[in-house]
Amino acid sequence: MLNRNFFQDRNFFLHVLEMELKRSLRYQSFTSLLLIEIPTTRKLDLSKTATFLERVVASLSSQIRETDIIGTTKEGTITVILLNCDKRSTSEVVNRVNCWMLHYFGSDSNDSGISSSRLGVGAACFPTHATDSEHLLSAASEMLELSRRQPEAQFKFQP
């Protein structure tokens, strides 16, 4: 298994994503990208952020398949590449992740200082929403930004 923080290098992340998209194209399958942001990580110092994100990623790993790829970016965004996962399946995964996040972070008064209503998730599916890694990342980022602006929705997926 790869180190969960291996997405710190954007070029390596894009390379891994591109390789998985090529595999999807070859085998005519779907691949989805989830971006999960936990706003408090921007306020923590670097060492606390890394430790906190590692705990979250380790716990979140139980909500996805072993073959899916999960990591964090240097900006503190959790990224998940869901292999062989179409739009419908991605929605099911996101529902599980949302339930997990609500349980993990609980109420606004939890000790992590994170309000579950402030968590953001953006997702996009290849080839449904994009046909290359840059556009897939852009589509998922756009949905993450939309979920930040509309916290009541919490999760945004390309239509």
Question: What would the two tokens of residue 155 be?
Answer: 């999760």
**Sheet hosting strand 155-157, strand order edge to edge:** 69-72, 77-83, 31-37, 120-126, 155-157
Cis peptide before 127 (omega within 30 of 0): yes
pTM comes to: 0.80
CATH, domain range 6-157? 3.30.70.270
3-class DSSP string for 116-135 = HHHCEEEEEEECCCCCCHHH
pLDDT recorded at residue 83: 94
Q: 65-69, 77-81, 87-91, 150-154: lowest mean pLDDT where? A: 150-154
Mean pLDDT across 88-102 = 82
Domain-wise residue ranges, the chain: 6-157
pLDDT recorded at residue 2: 44
Residue 126 pairs in a beta bridge with: 31
